[in-house]
Structure 1
Amino acid sequence: MRDKMAYTTADMMTCAMSRLLQDGEVAFHGVSSHMPMVSMMLAKALHAPSMVHLNIPGGVNPSTLRNTSYSSAGTELVRHSESTFSLLDVFDLSIRGKLDVAFLGGVQFDQHGHVNASIIGTPDNLKVRLPGGAGSAVLIPTAKKAIVWRTKHDVRTFVEHVDFITTKGNLWKIVTPLCVFDYFKGRLVLDSIHPGTTVEEVKAQTGFKIHETEVPVNAAPTQQELNTLRKIDPNNLRAIEFK
């Protein structure tokens, strides 16, 4: 078991996502995406200096996160950037097969890789209306690598069948507080677990059957990663979704 005082779940998830990024890739994050935003900055600082960081307000390679707004879509990401690249151009880039990574969200996921960001319930028995597909409906099917993150991992989030299919297929990874899922041959498989988590715990918190019994454990955040996180994200924006 890890020392819970050494690093937080937000630290672990941010480092896990950062490690998925490679040097030279073009990566994008949307609104309310503090954890992916910080993970991209972390990757550029440590192992992917030539990665291109695109964001929803249109900034290219922002130099600082110190005054970034709650939505992660503030003008600071443009004012402190090398250049600008509009959201319309991001969609065009992805459709043309030139967007390497897109960080996207969702509320429900099932074993077939379906993503629900639209409603909970049915159209005739609506319980919750969600934000909708927005960019996910375009970017998940077209980006080379679609990485989804979710700060909750329970049987209401990972379900047998989603209530509504906002988008589907072409997922690459899903990062949660417990583990990382991979999308392989049309279904989600357990790719790795975080330190302090067991496969049995993941199974108990997942609403569809997990067939894997032995999976690797992700390395805990290194001291270098933690030091860099505190430097580039001194306001701990990466933890906002847990509050």
Structure 2
Amino acid sequence: MMNTIGNENYQVSDIMICAMARLIHNGENVFHGVSSHMPMLAVMLAKALHAPEAVYLNIPGGVDPKPKNLEKYTSAGAELFQQAAAIFPLAEVFDLSMRGRLDVAFLSGIQFDKTGNVNASVIGDYHKPKVRMPGGAGSAVLIPTAKRAIIWRTKHDKRTFVEKVDFVTTRGNIDRIVTPLCIFKYENGELLLDTIHPTSNLQEVIDNTCFEVKYRSIEFTPLPSKEELTILRRIDPKNYRNIEF
């Protein structure tokens, strides 16, 4: 979806990716899982701008890759070995996290509730589910053990942000949840509204969230700068960042 604000056109994906990139600090070890185009671009964007010494880790195992052909990549393909500084297998990422050395893990889920529980396992009763999903996989290990777990989700509705998740795949230790409408921050055991995207508003967030939306003040997510948009469009010329919408 394209939104015109001022003289610039913004996609919601642009706002989400730039917001995620700003959460990455220079020198941090950062990981994303499979089917993670938006976090992948967020890491690349952060490294191109304010965090050149961040260490980029991924499912295939290429450390700090520099893909030659940016028009043909996935978030878990062989391109992430191109010009890599080293090879770091996935099992070592889990070990790194459990030793307290993984600074950021970008992960996702299907349901979230106000206390930060994450469901990536089933919809409905666990023994007779309506839908059975992939399950915890890396999330069950990395969300509790990474220094900061940053969640992204391309849907924000009452089926996603529920009063109580159908199944607790993992819980706690969530730093932020980035959605097409806003960013939630996990603080003192509950989700608080951190910022609202300029393409949305408080009422839209409330209308699409089952639990009470709490906040200290109404703040808006900064729009992508011209520099951020220029680099983002260069590293993603075919607009793969919208593949999840």
Q: Indicate whether the TM-score tops 0.5.
A: yes
The answer to which of 99-108 and 59-68 deviates more is 59-68
Q: Is 1:195 matched with 2:198?
A: yes
Matches for 1:40-79 after TM superposition, within 5 Å: 40-64=43-67, 66-70=70-74, 72-79=75-82
Q: 1:132 aligns with which of 135, 142, 146?
A: 135
SS at match of 2:4: coil
1:163-178 equivalences in 2 (<5 Å) = 163-178=166-181
Picking from 183, 186, 191, the partner of 2:189 is 186
**Equivalent residue for 1:216?**
219
| Partners of 1:23 and 1:78 in 2: CA distance | 22
Cα deviation, 1:20-58, whole Å, max 9, x if unaligned, reads 111011100010000000000000001000000000100
* Contact kept? 2:71, 2:236, Cα under 8 Å: no
Contact 2:66–2:82 (CA<8 Å) still a contact in 1? Answer: no
Give the aligned partner of residue 103 of structure 1: 106
* 2:210 alignment partner in structure 1: 207
Question: C-alpha deviations, 1:56-110, integer Å up to 9, x for none?
Answer: 100111112615544x111110133121101000000000000000000100000
Q: CA deviation at 1:211?
A: 2.4
User: Mean alpha-carbon deviation: is it higher for 209-218 or for 25-34?
Assistant: 209-218
Distance in 2 (alpha carbons) for counterparts of 1:125 and 1:99:
36
- Contact 1:29 / 1:37 at 8 angstroms: preserved in 2? yes
Q: Which runs of 5+ in 1 are unaligned?
A: none
Residues 59, 96 of structure 1: alpha-carbon distance in 2 compared, 3 angstrom cutoff: same
Residue 193 of structure 2 aligns to a residue whose secondary structure is strand
For residues 91 and 34 of structure 1, the distance between their equivalents in structure 2, rounded to whole angstroms, comes to 21
* Residue 3 (str. 1) matches residue 4 (str. 2): yes
Give 1:213 deviation, angstroms. Answer: 6.7
SS of 1:241's equivalent in the other structure is coil
TM-score, normalised via structure 2 length = 0.94
Letter in structure 1 aligned against 2:175: W
Question: What amino acid is the match of 2:221?
Answer: N
Q: Are the equivalent residues in 2 in contact too, given 1:189–1:212 (CA < 8 A)? A: yes
CA deviation digits over 1:98-157, x for unaligned, max 9? 000000010000001000000000024310011110000000000000000000000000
- Structure 2 unaligned regions, length at least 5: none
State the alpha-carbon separation in 1 of the partners of residues 122 and 181 from structure 2. 25
Alpha-carbon distance in structure 1 between the residues aligned to 2:72 and 2:121: 27
8 Å contact kept, 1:194–1:217: yes
- Answer yes or no: is the 8 Å Cα contact 1:199–1:214 preserved in 2: no
Quote the residue 1:30 is aligned against: 33
List structure 1 runs of 4+ shifted beyond 6 angstroms: none
* 1:159 aligned onto 2:146: no
Matched with 2:244 is: 241
* 1-structure distance, mates of 2:210, 2:135: 22
What is the DSSP-based 3-state SS (H/G/I as helix, E as strand, rest coil) of the residue aligned with 2:14?
A: helix
Sort the Cα spacing of 1:143 and 1:163 in 2 relative to 1 into closer, same or farther, 3 A: same
Match of 1:84 in 2: 87
The question of whether the paired residues in 2 share the 8 Å contact of 1:153 and 1:176 is answered with: yes
Alignment: residue pair count: 240
Among all aligned residue pairs of Structure 1 and Structure 2, give the percentage whose two residues are the same amino acid. Answer: 57
TM-score with structure 1 length normalisation?
0.95
In the alignment, residue 192 of structure 1 is paired with which amino acid?
T
